[in-house]
Amino acid sequence: MKTPAYLALITLTAISWLAAQTAPTSSAASTTTPATAMTTPGKVPVEKMASQVILWENQKFTPTATGARVTVFDAPTPTLDKFHCHISTLNPGENTGALHRHPQEEFIVIKEGTLEVNIDGKKQTATPGSMIFYAANENENMTNIGKVPATYYVIQFYTALTPKS
């Protein structure tokens, strides 16, 4: 199944918006190099992610206990300490674990399947094309309530304000 063009456009718009929301606003903050947080004294700095096309057919999924997963990218960018994307497939009846929290923001786009999204005890159904935004430290999880595997993109944003531990 190919991703519809409108879904790609919506995803790119959301990524641009979130990046703008997390960009430094003061002149002092704008001189900070985002990759600095990704380096350790005595180690080689992590290279910033360059513009690129990432082809679906090149992704190599690894089976998991609940479905499958592939990390697409995980690197700093000119405006983010780290920009991460993985694609997960959740088998029918499986979930992403107990309610849990992440220190970074997450943006999820449902490619196929039906997920029940639980945000701090409030449940909602997400179908193909639906988008989910989890604020930092939101208590969340998802369950595949459909009869077929659910595949979704997880995009995570790490900034200078994201807790490091």
- 88, with CB counted inside 10 A (0-12, 13-18, 19+), is buried
Complete DSSP assignment for 1-23: -PPPHHHHHHHHHHHHHHHHHHS
| pLDDT per residue of the chain (165 residues) written in tens, 0 to 9 | 454 444 444 454 444 444 443 344 333 333 333 333 444 556 666 789 999 999 999 999 999 999 999 999 999 999 999 999 999 999 999 999 999 999 999 999 999 999 999 999 999 999 999 999 999 999 999 999 999 999 999 999 999 999 886
Domain that holds residue 154: 5-158
Q: Is residue 104 part of a domain?
A: yes
The total number of structural domains in the chain stands at: 1
Tokens 């697409």 found at: 72
Q: Is residue 134 part of a domain?
A: yes
Q: Is residue 88 part of a domain?
A: yes
Phi/psi at 16 (nearest 5 deg)? -60, -45
Asked whether the whole model's pTM tops 0.75, one would answer: no
Q: Is residue 165 part of a domain?
A: no
Whichever domain contains 29, its CATH number is 2.60.120.10
What's residue 21's pLDDT? 38
